[in-house]
Amino acid sequence: MKNNNNMLLSASVSLLFAFSANSETMPVLVKDNGIKQPTITKIVEADYDLVNLDALDIPIEQQPVHFSQAISTADKASFNNKGYTDVSDEYWFEATGRELMLGVAINISQPGALIRLSGKHGKNQTKEGWQHSIDPEAVSLLKAGHKLGAAFTQKVSAEQFATANIFPNSSALQVNKTLGTGKFTLKVEQALQASQRYMVNVKEKNAEHKLHLAIDKQSYRQGQDIYFNADVFNSHGEALPAHQKVSVKLPNGEVQPLQVSQVNKQFKVALPQVHHEQERGQLYELMIDTAAQHNGIKVRRNGKVAFAVSKATARLEGKVNHHADAIEFNLNVASEGRYEISGIVYGMNSQGKSVAFMLSRSAYHLSAGLHKKSLQLDKAIINKSGLQAPYTVKSVQLLDQSRLALLQQL
């Protein structure tokens, strides 16, 4: 399986250098330009092509900027491209006005479920033309074809939601706990536009079973596969066998189903090729629709996680040169723009433990081509840290600031 970053360090995961923390106490290192037996690290050539994009028609800072800040060990985790886990006790689906008037199936696995009905805003509808809220007094619940009395213990209208300034064009109902669990039919006895689309959301607070959807990171390069875990666990951490449908919501709102394969204990999906241009910073959503069985009761759960997809407009490659107050990288740029190199610096404490103490960033406006650019380090922060050499730079990242994209992480 390919490395998710498609980048390997030939000698070390981190970039090792040993410049002086205190030139007054280590004069030999100053004489050697602050370096003692530097480890020259080479970044192996990547196996993906760079993308040439047109220069952005927006004002972009042209001058280099260098910034370092002292950090604590606890701060360092927030600079990584971290994964994310969504825990869901709910599910949702779309239905037309016609389907709601005929009746739609509702599966309840936890007594007292909360049902929310929301009218969707169509692409060609004006704000004044999509007020399609459903009156909760016109909603009934059936089981085995029989209408249930006192089916709901609480009802919230669209007007009440509007007063609270939440869930526009929505109404909600709480199912009577005494009705228990099982398969029900939700029916709207109100004249609705047949083609109008609604979102039906069923939330089961304090549910025994919850969907855990986890991805390993939230930023991907175009062409990379996404690996994820999706399981319905009970309160004891035991997983239910489940059937899953996986789809992706593109930045333009289009939803496309995805083919899923299993690799070891993870699922893998390949993103569809997107041919239209997206605006800077727009996100995708990985969406899971899961169904399982427990004691003859159907358990439905939906989950979703947002992530970014970037085009490979540049990369770090080749040799890395170490200096007393900087690390020099070879930067291959395919698209003109502003790029940032960043890294977290570690030093050795009195117990011989490596401790993170500084985050450094350097940004440059670059044209297409090959460049040698440095990550500048603040020696004043190094001197104040009280830590000793060897110093190590980890979590090196390359960002395309112009297009708000994480391109590389070493």
What integer pLDDT is reported at residue 54 of this predicted model?
84
- pTM score, whole prediction: 0.77
C-alpha distances (whole Å) from 363 to each of 64, 340, 374 are 6, 4, 9
CA distance 386 to 355: 11
Residues near 8 by beta carbon (within 8 Å), at least 6 away in sequence: 43, 44
CA 191 from centre of chain = 40
The encoded tokens of residue 60 equal: 């972009």
C-alpha distances (whole Å) from 306 to each of 33, 79, 87, 165, 251 are 46, 18, 14, 25, 10
pLDDT tens-digit readout, 27-60: 122 222 333 333 446 787 777 889 888 877 778 8
Q: What is the DSSP letter of 247?
A: E
Nearest to 195 by CA among 283, 109, 288, 101: 101
Which regions of the chain carry the CATH code 2.60.40.3870?
Answer: 42-80+312-409
Alpha helices in 106-256 (DSSP H): 158-164
Q: What is the DSSP string of 86-146?
A: EEESEEEEEEEHHHHHH-EEEEESSTT-EEEEEE---TT--GGG------GGGEEEEETTE
CA 107 from centre of chain = 29
Is there a contact between 274 and 254 (Cβ–Cβ < 8 Å)? no
Q: Does domain 208-310 have CATH number 2.60.40.1930?
A: yes
Nearest to 294 by CA among 224, 209, 383: 209
What integer pLDDT is reported at residue 324 of this predicted model?
75
Which regions of the chain carry the CATH code 2.60.120.1370?
Answer: 90-203
215: enclosing H helix or E strand = strand 210-215
The encoded tokens of residue 82 equal: 């971290």
Is there a contact between 373 and 342 (Cβ–Cβ < 8 Å)? no
**Omega before 390 within 30 of 0, i.e. cis:** yes
Class of residue 48 by CB neighbours under 10 A (exposed 0-12, middle 13-18, buried 19+): middle
Nearest to 347 by CA among 363, 358, 337: 358
> Of all residues in the chain, what percent are helix, strand and coil, respectively (each to 5)?
10, 50, 40
Which residues of the chain are modeled with pLDDT < 70?
Answer: 1-41, 73-81, 122-131, 274-280
Pairing relation of β-strands 90-96 and 197-203?
antiparallel
Lookup result for tokens 């825990």: 87
CA distance 123 to 7: 42
Q: Does domain 90-203 have CATH number 2.60.40.10?
A: no
Domain range 42-80+312-409, CATH architecture: Sandwich (2.60)
Lookup result for tokens 């609705």: 192
Identity of the amino acid at 160: Q
Question: How many H-runs (helices) and E-runs (strands) does the chain carry?
Answer: 4, 30
What integer pLDDT is reported at residue 125 of this predicted model?
53
Q: What is the DSSP letter of 56?
A: P
What integer pLDDT is reported at residue 143 of this predicted model?
96
* 3-class state of residue 164 by DSSP: helix
CA distance 223 to 370: 23
37: left (phi over 0), alpha (psi -120 to 50) or beta: left
**Omega before 59 within 30 of 0, i.e. cis:** no
Is there a contact between 330 and 314 (Cβ–Cβ < 8 Å)? no
The encoded tokens of residue 64 equal: 């280099």
